[in-house]
Structure 1
Amino acid sequence: MSTVTTPTPDTGGLAPDADVTPAKGIGAKKLPIIFGVLTALLAVVLMRSSPSGDTTFQLAAGTDFVTLPDIVVPSGPTAWVMVVLCLALTAEAVRRMLAHTQQSIWIPIGFAVAWMTGFLSWAAADERIRVVSLLGGAVALAIPLVFGALGGVLGERAGVVNIAIEGQLLFGAFAAAVTASLTGSPWAGLVAAMVAGALIALILGLFAITYFVDQVIVGVVLNVLVVGLTNFLFRQVLAPNADTLNSPDRFSAMPIPILGEIPLIGPILFRQTPLVYVLYVVVALVAYSLYRTRWGLRVRAVGEHPKAADTVGIKVNRTRYRTILLAGAIAGMGGAYFSLVSVAGFNREMTGGAGFIALAAVIFGKWDPIRAALAALLFGFASNLQGVLSAIGSPVPSQFMLMLPYLVTIFAVAGLVGRSRPPAADGVPYRQQ
């Protein structure tokens, strides 16, 4: 008697990710708790200081071809309506948790929009929120975070923990400033930043892959080394010769015709610097290559089960070396943002811990390039929000606004990730038998 077997989907020999478990979804148990805490905080703030007047949300920039009308809402009532909506979404998340059903993606998205609308209605009472500036600035500030997160995803997918993202960003910023100053071309500076990031990745690979040194320790040491080296070179070389070695031309905004004229979306996404457009391409290429090419399958194989990959003829350590070099080059591109976009020149420790926030985006994004990029955009939004609210004289304390990006990082990693796991061989050196 013959038996009938049910075909299983081809996963390329890799174990399925834990985040696809149907009964869990996005932060199945933690999500309602986080929702409840945030809703309670917003309600307490409104009870202590109920705003009067109106809040204006400006949806159009002054140069738009098509001008969208401003949205003017009563500050207090709008904020309370958003609290009620947040309570409803929290109740729905609790219901799904108790019923052991999946937490749909629209629940956290809807909660985030409702909570932020209520918060801004309160914080910007009798003021104007320029939505284009808020979201466009968030995209710009997320550039180094997205590049760094992509480098982290690639490295860890191949089984190498890349704690050295901070060092790659900082050394990339240094190389970009010096090269762009000498050549007069920011594009040459961008290439130099890629080489600098790859150089740090090569050192990481030499110790972590070849000599089996603990990857976390190597990454931390490299970060400290780069900080000390760039500080020394800045003081001894760049500062005395600032006119020739630390005066690069910056990337200027380059609107894309037609796309830049789309109402609301155009000014946010398509009136940016060329580095943002490069970022769009890199995110798409990394996501496609990692899941749709033979190279990507090999990278994931050496990160999940290197012994099995070696058995079928994949050179594990060679694949890891090539992947982390590519990851370092991508992270180095993020470093160019600091010295070629944010400011014109290099300053000591100018990355300000962006590499560690990029690592948080890797975890929040569950080691997926698209999700990690979206997580980095969330952190970029939090950073830009502090500047916008400070500029309009919001009643929110300035100390809290400075903490905001890091609070979002903690909440994202600790509360909203849910069940996830890194690649099985992440951080485990491979010794070929």
Structure 2
Amino acid sequence: MSVVDAPARSEAPEEQVRDRADVRRQVRLVVVFALAAAMVLLFRLTTDSFSVTYLLEAQRSADSQPRSLDGSLVNWVALVLALAGVVLAALNRVPRGGLGLLLYVLVGLSFYVAFMAWAFADQGEGFQASISNPIPGTISIATPLVLGALAGVVCERAGVINIAIEGQFLAGAFSASLFASIALSSLAFIPLWLCAPFGLLGGALAGMLVSAILGLFALRYQVNQVVLGVVIVAFATGLTGFLLGQIPSESTGRLNNPDPLEPLAVPVLSDIPVIGQALFEQTILVYLTYAAVVVVALLLFQTRWGLRVRAVGEHPKAADTVGIKVNRLRWQAVLFGGLLAGLGGAYYTVGSSGAFDKEMSAGTGFIALAAVIMGRWHPVWAALAAVFFGFMRNLGTQLSLVDRIPGDLIGALPYLATVIVVAGFVGRVRPPAADGEPFVKA
């Protein structure tokens, strides 16, 4: 019997199954890069003269002279980079990791310069505003936001939602002003150069006190942490406003008039062009903020304590079964976060303006909380998100010098940019699994 061989099957190449997350990433990148290219093209079509000037000095002086910028060339560069991003995204060839981040930075920076050239172009006769270095203003706005974001990361990594960052800011700002003023006017044994740093101690203690209230009700009495945080913010707002009103006018200079911290220049680093003076001629509180990002990242990811904190934030019952004191660790994280947020609040008084004013943090604690989410509960990324928000708020301040954009839109610009970044690059985020869930030992 003959055996008839079956016809050989033509094997089609195996189709690659793509993950849905990868498809969503591709769509987001195409949309974001396409919007950037469309906006840059719109800038070119709506500009008559690209003649603009800029200043890169961190601090203006009598010798500072604006320099001219070829806005047309910048516009072309930004358009080419944005279109290249569109093509790479459409072909799903946008690399991940460092190369992808480099592409995002290049497109973002070129778009920023093209946008500023458009905003400051066609100013007409009279006063001519110049584009200024955004770094000093960004550092000024972002310093308390970074400290507040770090406080939120530490607390939420341990499983405690810290909505009360705004209240910790206010308490820290008021106490820092009070401590520094008392040290300046009444404590003769404290040298003058230590009075403002003494205010940092007051701010840190006040932040920890507010955190202790959060920990008491959240961990001991298991109150809903979101509601508790809102109540603490309202309490701190009312209490600091009340205490400020109780200071007699004749005692204001003694109780609410601290000398701000003095800038300290770092040798060599402060001489770097463009960024040196802006980054390395700052107060001790700004340097503490730089160090805090590194310290918190190392504590959370390179120490046994950090491993345990993350464990109680993800699976407290499992952590308890191996002998970890869940609520004790949560208390430690909450108090440490309060210390960081209290220092952030101190920036509003001894770190910048001096005297405390009612509600002077102006809701920045909630912005710091948004930076925690935008940074995916990671200290470094949360700090970068806070810097980004500070950059956008500083941008709004610069744009108020020209009338190219309506004032109401300028005020909404930081929030709009944050939404675009979250939708285009951050995507879906997942908090710690036990975030906000009280733990009761069986």
Q: Same fold (TM over 0.5)?
A: yes
User: What's the CA shift for 1:127?
Assistant: 5.0
* 1:31 has 2:29 as partner: yes
1:284 equivalent in structure 2: 294
Aligned equivalent of 1:422: 431
2-structure distance, mates of 1:169, 1:24: 39
1-structure distance, mates of 2:146, 2:23:
24
Residue of structure 1 in register with 2:51 after alignment: 54
* Structure 2 alignment gaps of length 5 or more: 1-18, 122-127, 185-194
Distance apart, 1:24 and its partner CA? 4.3
Please give the secondary structure, in 2, of the residue aligned with 1:82.
helix
Where do 1:73-152 residues align within 5 Å? 73-96=69-92, 102=96, 104-125=100-121, 127-131=129-133, 134-152=134-152
| C-alpha separation in 1, matches of 2:421 and 2:322 | 38
Taking only the aligned residue pairs, the percentage that are identical comes to 44
How much has 1:25 moved relative to structure 2?
Answer: 11
The answer to whether the 8 Å contact 2:138/2:387 transfers is yes
C-alpha separation in 1, matches of 2:87 and 2:94: 14
Once the 2 structures are TM-superposed, how far is the Cα of residue 225 of structure 1 from its aligned partner?
Answer: 0.9
- Whether 1:313 aligns to 2:311 is no
Shift of 1:205: 1.0
Deviation at 1:61, TM superposition (A): 5.3
Equivalence for 2:277 = 267
| Residues 123 and 363 (structure 1), Cα distance of their counterparts in 2 relative to 1, 3 Å cut | same
Q: Is the 8 A contact 1:27 1:419 kept in 2?
A: no
188, 200, 222: which one pairs with 1:212? 222
Q: CA deviation at 1:101?
A: 7.1
Deviation at 1:124, TM superposition (A): 2.2
Q: Which moved more, 1:148-157 or 1:262-271?
A: 262-271
Separation of aligned partners in 2, 1:313 and 1:118: 57
Residue type of the alignment partner of 1:106: L
Give the aligned partner of residue 407 of structure 1: 416
Offset of residue 77 of structure 1:
4.6
- Verify the 8 A CA contact 1:23 1:101 in the aligned structure 2: no
Match of 1:228, SS state, is helix
Q: Distance in 2 between matches of 1:62 and 1:167?
A: 32
The residue correspondences of 1:10-409 to structure 2 (distance < 5 A) are: 24=22, 27-47=25-45, 49-60=46-57, 72-96=68-92, 102=96, 104-125=100-121, 127-131=129-133, 134-184=134-184, 185-237=195-247, 241-391=251-401, 393=402, 395-409=404-418
Rate the CA distance shift 1:22–1:271 in 2: closer, same or farther, 3 A: farther
Normalised TM-score (structure 2): 0.85
Q: Residues 54 and 220 of structure 1: is their aligned pair in 2 closer, same or farther, counting only changes over 3 Å?
A: same
1:52 is paired with a residue whose SS is: coil
Compute the TM-score of the two structures, normalised by the length of structure 1: 0.86
Residues in 2 aligned to 1:239 and 1:351: alpha-carbon distance in whole angstroms: 23
| Letter matched to residue 41 of structure 2 | A
Residue type at the aligned position of 2:52: T
Tell me how far apart the structure 2 counterparts of residues 52 and 263 of structure 1 sit (CA, whole Å). 29
- SS of corresponding position for 2:282: coil
Q: In 2, Cα distance between the equivalents of 1:92 and 1:68?
A: 42
- Tell whether the 8 Å contact from 1:360 to 1:409 is kept in structure 2 after alignment: no
CA deviations 1:221-266 (Å, max 9, x no partner) are 1111111111111122265631111101101222112211122231
How far the C-alpha of 1:22 sits from its partner, in A, is 12
CA distance in 2 between partners of 1:91 and 1:240 (Å)? 67
What is the Cα deviation at residue 181 of structure 1? Answer: 0.8
Q: Alpha-carbon deviation of 1:86? A: 1.6
1:158 partner amino acid? A
Runs (5+) with no aligned partner, structure 1: 1-20
| Conserved 8 A contact 1:137-1:384 | yes
Contact 2:50-2:117 at 8 Å conserved across structures: no
1:16 alignment counterpart: none
Q: SS at the partner of 1:90?
A: helix
One-letter amino acid of the structure 2 residue matched with residue 31 of structure 1: L
Say which SS state the counterpart of residue 429 (structure 1) adopts: coil
Q: Residues 280-338 of structure 1, C-alpha deviation per residue, up to 9 Å, x if partnerless?
A: 11111111111101111011110111111111111000000011100011011000111
Structure 1 pair 338–416 and aligned structure 2 pair: CA distance change class (3 A): same
Q: Is the 8 A contact 1:24 1:102 kept in 2?
A: no
- On the 8 A contact 1:22/1:101 being kept in 2, the answer is no
Tell me which residue corresponds to 1:13. Answer: none
Residue pair 1:155, 1:323 contacting (<8 A) in 2 also: yes
Aligned to 2:8: none
Q: 2:37–2:83: 8 Å Cα contact kept in structure 1?
A: yes
Deviation of 1:274 after TM superposition, in Å, equals 1.5
Deviation at 1:406, TM superposition (A): 2.3
Residue 53 of structure 2 aligns to a residue whose secondary structure is strand
Q: Distance in 1 between matches of 2:178 and 2:86?
A: 51
Q: Are 1:27 and 1:417, in contact at CA under 8 Å, matched by a contact in 2?
A: no
- Residues 160, 437 of structure 2: 8 Å contact kept: yes
Relative to structure 2, which stretch is displaced further, 366-375 or 102-111? 102-111
Matched residues in 2 for 1:252 and 1:262: separation? 20
Distance change in 2, residues 1:230/1:166 (3 Å): same
